[in-house]
Structure formats: C-alpha cells, structure tokens
C-alpha cells in the first residue's frame, strides 16, 4: 500500500494579477496492490486499515478547514483497476461496525 496527500483548494486572483492559493481540504490518494480485484473482503480490509491511519492524523497538520476525501486505487496484475472515493466526513457513519466485504460494498454504494 502506498499513498500521498495534497491540498485541494482555489487560486485567488487579485486585481493586480497576483495569485494566492487558498486550501480548502487535504485529499489522499491510496494505491493498493492486490492479487484479486474480486476479493471484496481484502479490499474492504485495506480501506479500513488506511482510513484508521488517516483518522489519526492531527487536523492541525492538514491543510484546509474541511475534511477531504480518500481516493483508493486497487491494482492487480492485469490492466483493470478499481477506484473508490471515500468522503472522510461521512466515512464513520457509513462504516460503523462494518469491515471486509460489507465495508467495501457500503462505501461503493455511497458513491
């Protein structure tokens, strides 16, 4: 599993043409190498592990005033991939008590 984070926001342009970037949120890109894209149990467990790490990040170390999102890309040996976007603000309510395949299905349905 590998990942990166970036600030998402807007360029504010003043009348004199100067620009200032104003971050609105921190978004995460998480790439997960898997053996089988049909293994929803493994995909859901990987999401749970990654989101546990994201949840522990202090908000003071993240850019922007609002929660961002986590984009998961699951990659197997072939050309196919699965992408899943998870809104951090709604993750806890969607995932409450779920893990594995049930977590994956719930998050996929929420897109």
Task: Please give the residue range of the domain that contains residue 89.
Answer: 2-109
First to last CA, the chain: 22
Percent above pLDDT 90 for the chain: 92
42-94 pLDDT, tens digit per residue, is 999 999 999 999 999 998 999 999 999 999 999 998 889 999 999 999 999 99
**pLDDT of the residue at 111:** 83
Average pLDDT, the chain: 94
Task: Tokens 């898997």: give the residue.
Answer: 34
**pLDDT of the residue at 88:** 94
**How far is it, in rounded angstroms, from Cα 66 to Cα 14?**
24
Count of domains forming the chain: 1
**pLDDT of the residue at 77:** 85
This prediction has a pTM of 0.88
Instruction: Report CA-CA distances (Å) from 40 to 1, 10, 18, 37, 108.
Output: 16, 36, 48, 7, 11
């Amino acid at each position: 599993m590998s990942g990166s984070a970036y600030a998402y926001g807007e360029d504010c342009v003043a009348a004199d043409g100067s620009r200032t970037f104003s971050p609105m949120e921190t978004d995460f890109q998480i790439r997960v190498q898997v053996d089988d894209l049909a293994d929803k149990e493994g995909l859901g467990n990987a999401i749970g592990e990654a989101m546990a790490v994201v949840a522990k990040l202090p908000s003071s170390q993240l850019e922007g005033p609002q929660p961002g999102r986590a984009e998961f890309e699951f990659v197997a040996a072939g050309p196919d991939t699965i992408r899943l976007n998870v809104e951090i603000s709604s993750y806890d309510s969607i995932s409450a008590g779920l893990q594995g395949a049930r977590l994956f299905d719930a998050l996929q349905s929420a897109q």
